[in-house]
Structures are given as C-alpha cells and as structure tokens.
Structure 1
Amino acid sequence: MVNDSILYQPKWRIIDQSTLGPSFDALQSFAMDDTLCNSAGSGESPPIMRSWVHHDTIVLGIQDTRLPSFEKGVHYLKELGYRVIVRNSGGLAVVLDAGVLNLSLVFSEKQQRIDIDTGYEAMVDFVQDILSPYHVTIEDREIVGSYCPGRYDLSINGRKFAGISQRRLRGGVAVQVYLCVDGSGSGRAGVIQEFYRRALNGEPTKFTYPEIMPKTMASLSELVGKELTVSDLMMKTLETLKSYADSMSNTHLSIPELSLYDFNYQRVFTRNEKALL
C-alpha cells in the first residue's frame, strides 16, 4: 500500500460499538452511519472508523422484499429467532450475529472526490493489513454461490468471509464491511439458502436471486485454522488504524450529531416498517 491511500489521515476518530450487546439494533447502525456521513462530509468531523456487532439479525435488501413469497421467507427467519430488517441501500440478504464484526470507514469528499473503486480498495487494503499476522492470501472477487455476492467479496481459498458495501450521503462516503470472524460460515449461508427457497416458492422472477451454495462461505476462524474472536479482531483493527494516523480519538456523538441521529433513526425506522408490511 502506498502512503497516498485515503487510509492515511492526520487524525482518525473512533466510535466503537462492538460491545453494546443484543439491545443494539441494526436500524440504529443505519442511522449512525448516515449521521457520520453528514459530519465527515461537512468537515465537522475527521474521518471516522466505526465498529459494531448486531446479534441474531438478518439484513435484507430492497430487492429481497420483492420476492414472490416474501412473507413466508420472513416468517421462517423469525421462527429461527432472527430480527429481520431492510437496509436503506443496495445489496441482498446477509446474516449478522455475535461472531460477525462490522466496520465502517467514513470519509469526506469536501477536499477531493473519492470514486467508488477508491472507497472499496481502501477497505480491501484495511482488511488485508488487519489480517496480515495470519499470513493468508485474500482475494477480492465475486464468489458465486455466496449470499449478497458482489465484485468486492473477500475470500481465502475461494471461500468468502466478508463483503463490502458503500453508502454516500451529504458529501460523506461510508465504506462498510462485515467480517465473519467465528462460527460456521456455511451454517449462516444455509439459513439464507432456505430463506430464498421459501420466499421464491418455485415461482419465476425477473430479478435473478443468488443460488446459495453454503460451502462457498466460511468464517475466519475456519479459514486460518485458529480460534479468533470479535474482540481479537477488534484489537488488531485498532492497531492497524493507528499505523495510518498521526493521532486517534475515541469519541461519542456531539449534541448536534445526536439530534441528527434521532431524526435519521426515525426515518430509517419508518422506512423499514413500510418495507416489511
């Protein structure tokens, strides 16, 4: 990696929400990243690294809500004990649980435009640096058969452990990754496979939904052959971020940010309720 990467910043702001527990809802994360996009985009905040964990949650994409028997699929997920929500950006169904660490890198476009590939590549570099102690080769390419497949799937030996997305709002760019740290990657994929089977219900669709092959997915613990935990990876994440910055600061939301967050939360909550009707 070269030092002109957008990862190298004079200051990184850290908001660590990885230990908030089961009461921390994924809708709160959507509102949080929208709020931080505004803060970074306006120049009121330096670039931000936010980390978070959500328990037993399935996040669906808008396209998933158009499945012919969507209600049947959602009923199945709820029977398994999952909270089901619909995200406010692109993509398809993903599993979040206590073994999945999520990271957002939030940048400003105030000084210079950040094109889509630059945002994705920064996150690829970040994850590669975090995992460098494990001496694994990480590929960024679409893994067919995985859930929420995309150009920037991250895999080791052809098995996906992470996916990257972006959200752009008010001059801010949030690049987000989910990292399956421990547990069974194929087990998570099996849940999504069955969701699509029930929600498609054998009916044809104009949109091509992924045919999930559970063996295409694995957790990092499975891939590196060593038991890793979210807290292990969180420590490595902070160490890695420190290598990019002159300084780092752990902060909470400011008073103006809290006000905007409340507004954003109401917005995503209402949108989610409508999507699940």
Structure 2
Amino acid sequence: MAWFSGRNSPDDDASTTDPAFGWESRGFIASAIVVGAVVVCVVVWLVAGGGGNNPTAQPPASPDTVEPTEQPTSQPTGPPATPGEPTTRPTPPPVNTGTGGCKNKTPDLRIPRAAPPAVSWQFETDMLIPLQAQGGPASTDATGLRSCFAHSPTGAVLAAMVTLGQIRNPDLTESVLRSRIAPGVGRTRALSEVRSSPTPRNSGETSQFTGFKVIDYLPDRAIVSIAVRLDAQKVASLPVTLLWSGGDWKLVLQPDGSFNGEVAPDVLQSLEGYVRFGGA
C-alpha cells in the first residue's frame, strides 16, 4: 500500500465543491510535491480523493467507531476543545524545563503501545499539538518555536506531531525549517520556496491528529506514521522520518522539498495497528 504522492490516480476525482476537498483540485495536487504546497497543507497531506466521490470505492470506517489493536485508549487523551480556546487538563508542562525532553537522562526506550500519559493539547493556530513534561517539548523560544524532545520513541512521536503542527503556522514556518528540519537538499529547497511563496493562513476545514504508529526505531533514526483525521469519515496517514541530530529529533525532507516525495497518500480504512492519540 502506497503512502503519499503529488500524482493523481485515475480515480482521484474529488469534487472541488465539497468543503472537505477545497485544497484538492488537480492544479494543487500537481504542485503538491514541491514544498510550497506541502508547507501550506502539511497536515492535509495531499489526500487526492481517497474514494470520497468514487461510487465504486468502499467508504472508509469512521475513526470514532474503530479501535486500534495496540492497547488503545477509549477516549482522546485530552478534553474536547474549540479553536481559540486553550485546553485546561492536565496542567501544561513548563515552557522551559531542565529535566524533561532532550534533557531527560533516562527516557523510556520502549515502543509506545498506548497513548503517552499526562499530555496537554495546546492550539498551534487551529491545530492541537501534544506537550508532555517528560517527552517534550522542553524548550520554547521567544517566538513560540518548540524543541528539545526525549531521545526515545515517544519523544520522536511528539517531535513529529509538534513540528508538523508548527510548520503550518505562517509566523513560524521559516523558523521551523531552519531549526526543526534536518539539513539537506530538501531543506534548502524548502527554504527557497517559502521565501518566494509565504505560507498563507489556513481558512478551510481543520484537520487534527488522531493516532500514530512507530514503524521503525534506532538510536539515531525513527520512522513514525502519523494519522490525521480530515473529517468525520476520512483519516489519512503520513510517514515521517526523523534523525537524532544536535541533541534533538529533526524531521527529514525529501530532495524535492516535501515530506513524501512521489509516494502516494494512504487513506486509512481504520485505525487498526495505530495508537489512538489526539486532542479533539
């Protein structure tokens, strides 16, 4: 099963009149393999149709009725929230800490099979991102850029979600590319693209994180699949590669400046195999 792509298949004819597919015109998808489009819609993740208006496609199961197989939580890890209103439980970790995140000397190195505990979900523009005192982020600079994640599988999951959420904030996009993305050809191209085409503010439907799966983990590299709820019926997954570099997890961009290159997006039929993890 493929993961992501900037290319359309013959069945990828999502209606441009459907609000849930406002970003999915053929022109947009054709340009989505370059970083300008990826940065704009990094959490929409180029879901070109996914069978939504294809009469022969089977409708995907609702994420609200499907339980993962790996010790799921029965409810999201934070209280329901409305964009613009901060969550209140549990107490958020401090903005900067000398013991958590990348400063944690004894992180839990087990692959997480259940949602990380004691997580506070906070809004980054219109998307909820997870904060945990133990796993990170343990550092926030004056602009709001978050960093310093635990050198562990859970730390990699948190780093992926927080970075993907913050890169959508037009006030932070360039800072995220400079500080939270691993150096390479992809980052160089991304920085060039975002300078010439600044990230617009999102005014459409808001996607939210809903789960994760650690695909592979080594001390210097992690591959995490992040599940995102696009609407009440659709969940898409994005594989993210991270490198442990400079004492923190950094996300990797492909040479074309995108996260996925030419790999097709995966619209999930269920959350089977994923750990349910989301703030809304």
Q: Tell me, yes or no, whether TM beats 0.5.
A: no
More helix by share: 1
* TM-score of the superposed pair, with normalisation by structure 2: 0.29
